[in-house]
Amino acid sequence: MLSREEFIRQSLEHNLFFTRIIKEHLIFAIAFLAVKNPSLVQPAMELKDQYETLLAETVSLSNQVVSREAIQSGEFVTQFTLNAELATQSYTGIPINTSITQAEKSLMPGMYINPELEARVGMLNQMAIALTTQAIMIKTTLGEAVKACQIFTFAYPTLLRHVLEEAKFYLRILNMLQRREDMHTIRSVIEHEIFWNHIMGQHAEFIRGLLDPSEKELMSKANRFAEEFEELTKSAGEALNQTTMLPQVTRESIRGTTEIRDFKAQGTLGILECKIKSIILPLLSDHVLREASHHLRMLRMFEKSF
């Protein structure tokens, strides 16, 4: 069972990461929809605004509470996030509250716990559960409509399923936190590794598919990452039944995730500087970079516990 301090810290760190991720999923969904779908755009826009309010509240509660490792990992914001938001806002016309990003860049680490914080974090988690349940419904509706050829979107059907899986994963974490469950059991560690290795592999496939056909070298690198993470996901799955494999599998996952994180960082810079030809929104590139940084921090934390 989580201590009060661990409940607060883990809740805030997960919400800082995932709340931004899910609100960006909504931005991408809006950007990828055709103008004839206002009935889908409006609820997504309203929910995006609610997530921004929730993220702002999370940031205000997190200063001098979350860990230095989490702040420095690059999973909350990167050196590219603000410019990526501004560029994406300019390209799409979708409003983005960049003041939240500015506030996150100023977060300080610590473990200052006041008597009211546990209750406020519990309420924050409940609000995140409510909003994420709504996000899952919107994503499910959109995915089913695309699958049935009822609407057109510029997002791959696999990408729509991908963001739905991430929202469901976040919801599961929130419910575990509210029950004060330890998420660092061997089984939870392996399940985390399986999930995020799979996500990293899909990122590589999406990048490959969204690059301009002339970017052959980058497409080739993305394809190699997709193949590598397919194998890493398989290895992590095998560790469920043979836990002695886990330290070696995690070391390989750390190596692969470090490499794909660096690849994504170079890609984000190239997209922002207009040196890479693609149909990748700058914020989408920064988004997948932060997800790699999150996975890497968690893997390194798990490795220390072996």
Q: Are residues 148 and 294 in the same domain?
A: no
Region 46-52: what's the mean pLDDT?
Answer: 98
Q: Give the residues across from 153 on adjacent strands.
A: 33
Arithmetic mean of pLDDT, 82-105: 98
Rounded Cα–Cα distance for residues 19 and 3 (Å): 23
Residue 306 has pLDDT above 80, yes or no: no
Q: Tell me, yes or no, whether 149 and 5 share the same domain.
A: yes
Domain boundary among 107, 135, 155: 155
In a domain, 47, yes or no: yes
One-letter amino acid identity for 245?
Answer: M
- Domain holding 191, by residue range, is 184-306
In this structure, is residue 284 part of a structural domain? yes
Find the mean pLDDT for residues 12-30.
Answer: 98
Residues 138 and 241 in one domain: no
Averaged pLDDT, 191-205: 98
Is 276 among the domain residues? yes
Q: Tell me the C-alpha distance between 30 and 23, whole Å.
A: 11
148 and 209 part of one domain: no
pLDDT at 305: 77
Domain count, the chain: 2
Mean pLDDT of 265-286: 98
The pLDDT value recorded for residue 195 is: 98
What gap in Å lies between CA 253 and CA 266, rounded to an integer?
20
What amino acid occupies position 120?
Answer: R
Tens digit of each residue's pLDDT (9 = 90 or more) over 157-181: 999 999 999 999 999 999 999 999 9
Q: Tokens representing 27? A: 């931005």
CATH number, domain with residue 279 = 1.20.1260.120
Instruction: Evaluate whether residue 90 is within a structural domain.
Output: yes
For residues 177 and 107, give the distance between their C-alpha atoms in angstroms, rounded to a whole number: 22
Contacts of 44 (CB under 8 A, 6+ apart): 26, 29, 30, 138
Same domain for 232 and 124, yes or no, is: no
Same-domain status, 128 and 48: yes
What local confidence, expressed as pLDDT, does residue 193 receive?
A: 97
Q: Are residues 140 and 63 in the same domain?
A: yes
Sign of CA dihedral 43, 45, 50, 55: positive
Asked whether residue 262 is domain-assigned, the answer is: yes
| Same domain, yes or no: 122 and 4 | yes
Do 139 and 232 sit in the same domain of this protein? Answer: no
210 in any annotated domain: yes
Contact (CB, 8 A) for 193 and 222: no
